[in-house]
Amino acid sequence: MIDRDPSELLPGLGIRPGCKVALAREIYSLASAFRLHGCRVVPADAPVPNAAITILVVLTKAEVPALAAYAHALADVSSLWVAVPRKSARREGLPDAAERAELADLQAVFVPLGLTDNKLLSFGSMLVAYRFVRKPGPLRAPGIDDELEHLEERRRRRGEQRCRTPRC
């Protein structure tokens, strides 16, 4: 299913030496390239919470809702790649174009769970993969933001106390 040189995919996937990769069985042929790059590869038969990168393959729209378990198990610093067939791909065993999973189907499951898609990578003429990661929280400066919140709380309390007087 992948007709690109695996070494070309490594930088695009964010593979770094020493990372743990959970890999779908359909594309387990990539495992040797990842191992040569110094990664530990495990099967993605079930969610692997401590994997830096999880790569799955989804062919049909009916398979997409089952991916919610992977989204729940995803750590804040992990990324989930989901490969889907290209619309133009023609090969025996692929579902009809109308039944194939698309980005909109993936977004319908992942966005409500706090993930966002932020990257696209071609696996060749058959598959394209989308990366989903946790949306970053609001930026906070430790100490400074806490003091500002404390100050705002004190101002709010003072305003409530003033309104208790007969003049309010």
Tens-place pLDDT, residues 7-37? 888 889 988 888 999 999 989 888 999 999 9
State how many domains the chain has: 2
Q: Is residue 163 part of a domain?
A: yes
Expressed as residue numbers, the domain containing 118 is 6-134
Picking from 70, 88, 80, the residue whose alpha carbon sits closest to that of residue 127 is 88
Q: Which pTM does this prediction carry?
A: 0.77
Bridge partners (DSSP) of residue 41 are 21
Pairing outcome for strands 20-23 and 40-43:
parallel
Query: What pLDDT was estimated at residue 140?
Result: 56
Q: Is residue 64 part of a domain?
A: yes
More confident residue, 164 or 100: 100
Query: What pLDDT was estimated at residue 143?
Result: 59
Q: Can you read off the two tokens belonging to residue 135?
A: 């949306």
